[in-house]
Amino acid sequence: MKVGAENKKQLMMMVILLAVAILLLLYNFRDQIFGSASAANVQLAPIAPSSASGKGPTGRLNPDTGLRLDILESSRRVKYEAGGRNIFRMELPQVPKTPIVRDKGPYTVEVPPPPPTPTPPPPIPIIYYGYASPPGAPKRIFLQKQGEDTVFVAALNDIVARRYKVVEIQPTTVTMEDVLTNNRQPIRLTQK
């Protein structure tokens, strides 16, 4: 077999990987290959005395595992009693049915109170004074906020006093919308 220059790198990688694999196998199977310590050579730690009785352990110990066989045997004798319920199935326990005793007297039915009626939205505090419409221009209306001296000149879809939008313009009424509460109210023409 002739090894060329291009295969030398691959050959080196294969040798390295093979060496790592052999080391891993030796590490994982070291007990079977090199032998393991027998159970007879292993020293078990003594069991601490029970705090309830104050005496040391009285049962026999299994030399291979260090388990107390008397405790295991007593736990094998315990019978599970769960009142007829299967612990391996997800179901609700049976509830005994009690007979319903009905009274023959008159019954009163409580009717729940009706839901509270929503409070009406507050009126929009805008006064409508009229409109002007020069030829070829959209209608402009004159509005004033109650309690203020400023007069607003607005067209359709304009916002007045930073809160109220002009939605519809009629000769005698203007429909305004409160943009914070989406409340629409018509406002009638006010004569001064």
Give domain status of residue 182, yes or no: yes
Q: What is the pTM of this model?
A: 0.40
Give domain status of residue 130, yes or no: yes
Give domain status of residue 78, yes or no: no
pLDDT at residue 65, as a whole number: 78
Give domain status of residue 94, yes or no: no
> Tens-digit pLDDT profile for the chain (192 aa)?
555 666 888 899 999 999 999 999 998 888 777 765 544 454 545 554 444 444 445 567 777 777 888 888 888 888 777 666 677 777 776 777 888 777 666 767 788 889 999 888 889 999 998 888 888 888 899 999 988 988 999 999 999 999 999 999 988 999 999 999 899 999 998 876
Rounded-to-integer distance, Cα 37 and Cα 39, Å: 7
Give domain status of residue 25, yes or no: no
Strands 159-160 and 151-154: unpaired
Measuring CA to CA, which residue among 181, 124, 162, 135 is closest to residue 154? 162
Torsion sign across C-alpha atoms 151, 157, 158, 161: positive
Give domain status of residue 158, yes or no: yes
Give domain status of residue 177, yes or no: yes
Give domain status of residue 172, yes or no: yes
Number of structural domains found in the chain? 1
Strand order in the sheet with 126-132: 126-132, 140-145, 151-154
**Domain hosting residue 180, numbered range:** 126-188
